[in-house]
Amino acid sequence: MSREKPIKNLENEKIPRWGEPAQSVAPFVPTPLNVVKKMLEISEAGPEDTLFDLGCGDGRILFTAVEKFNVKKAIGIDLNPTMVSKVELMIEEKELEGRVEVHNKNFFNVDLTSATLVTLYLTTSGNSKLKPKFEEELSAGARVVSHDFPINGWNTAKENSPPHFTTGSHKIFFYSLPDAYANKEKKGQKSTWNRIRDRILKP
Ligand SMILES: C[S@@+](CC[C@H](N)C(=O)[O-])C[C@H]1O[C@@H](n2cnc3c(N)ncnc32)[C@H](O)[C@@H]1O
């Protein structure tokens, strides 16, 4: 007689929203400081901003944003504990506790709803994996600026701007939400995948 497996009751299980998150999507390679400044200039970083650098490395974007652009808060996330300890030391040395934060986490598991500006230097495939998270969690008015790698399927922003900005051999891709994906989703309208997911997860 075959024994039937009991059906697992999923009602009280926490179902991850985007499946198993990817781990590292890029190695540590620092953005040159002149490119960091250009990224922050293009995105008009300022005192109203809560900046997230996803994969913050040695923290150069965080410190430049706070010290040179006076952003309200700069939060760095990195998988590499050595880089995170380095940034923690620098926060202490520069007495920037409360303005700069760093977390040794996988950024796919970090809540981005408070971000007004996101900086990236990852890979095109890494950016693609983050795209649904951005579309779900970032508010209208948030900006995303990416060194060298585009977010495929999004429209770059700034009226009359080129598809990307150039600093020496470096490219900078700048996006403003929700205009970056306005073709795909009208304001306030959910994407097909988001609608299907909502139907399954919220009976
Ligand atoms: C190319 S470096 C960029 C460093 C810094 N943002 C800059 O522009 O100078 C990419 C960083 O992303 C981190 N990283 C890659 N995947 C990650 C993930 N899933 N979660 C957190 N950090 C990640 C790596 O450890 C690395 O330090």
Please indicate whether residue 61, judged by its CB atom, sits closer than 6 Å to ligand 1: yes
CA 108 to ligand 1: nearest atom? 19
**In the block, residue with structure tokens 């059906």:** 7
Show the domains of the chain with their CATH numbers.
33-201 (3.40.50.150)
Q: State the average pLDDT over residues 79-106.
A: 97
Average pLDDT, integer, range 41-63: 97
Range scoring the smallest mean pLDDT among 14-18, 44-48, 147-151, 173-177: 14-18
Q: How far, in Å, is the centroid of ligand 1 from the Cα of 189? A: 32
Ligand 1 touching residue 148 (CB < 6 A): no
- Quick count: other Cβ atoms within 10 Å of Cβ 83? 19
Decide which of 86 and 191 is more confident: 86
DSSP per-residue codes, 65-117: HHHHH--SEEEEE-S-HHHHHHHHHHHHHTT-BTTEEEE-S-GGGS--TT-SE
CB of 81 within 6 A of ligand 1: the answer is no
Atom number in ligand 1 closest to CA 25: 16
* 23 or 126, higher pLDDT: 126
DSSP 146: E
pLDDT at position 201 is 64
Say whether pLDDT at 21 is over 60. Answer: no
- Mutate which of 36, 39, 54, 60 for ligand 1 pocket (most atoms within 8 A of beta carbon): 54
Greater pLDDT, 40 or 201: 40
Measured CA to CA, the distance from residue 81 to residue 139 in angstroms comes to 30
User: How sure is the predictor about 117, in pLDDT bands with cuts at 50, 70 and 90?
Assistant: very high
Question: What pTM was computed for the model?
Answer: 0.83
Does residue 137 contact residue 166 with C-beta atoms inside 8 Å? no
Rounded alpha-carbon distances, angstroms, from residue 10 to 3, 7, 14, 15, 119: 21, 9, 8, 8, 37
- 134-190 tens-digit pLDDT: 999 999 999 999 999 999 999 887 666 677 889 999 999 999 998 888 755 444 455
The neighbour count for residue 32, using CB atoms within 10 Å, is 13
- Ligand 1 geometric centre to CA of 110 (Å): 14
Top pLDDT among 182 and 56 is at 56
Whether residue 74 has its Cβ less than 6 Å from ligand 1: no
Pocket flag, ligand 1, residue 62 (CB < 6 Å): no
What pLDDT digit, counting tens, does each position of 127-143 carry? 999 999 999 999 999 99
24 lines ligand 1 (CB under 6 A): yes
Residue nearest (by alpha carbon) to ligand 1 atom 17: 24
Q: Residue 53 in 3-state DSSP?
A: strand
Q: Is the pLDDT of residue 122 over 70?
A: yes
Taking CB atoms within 8 Å and a gap of at least 24, the contacts of 185-192 are: 185/135, 187/140, 191/135
Q: What are the φ and ψ backbone dihedral angles of 174, each rounded to 5 degrees?
A: -120, 130
Q: Which of 24, 53, 106 to mutate to test the pocket of ligand 1 (most atoms within 8 A of CB)?
A: 24
Virtual torsion, Cα 29, 32, 37, 40, nearest 10 deg:
-20
CA-CA distances (angstroms) from residue 148 to 4, 114, 124, 181, 193?
53, 25, 9, 19, 28
Sequence-distant (6+) residues with CB within 8 A of 70 are: 46, 47
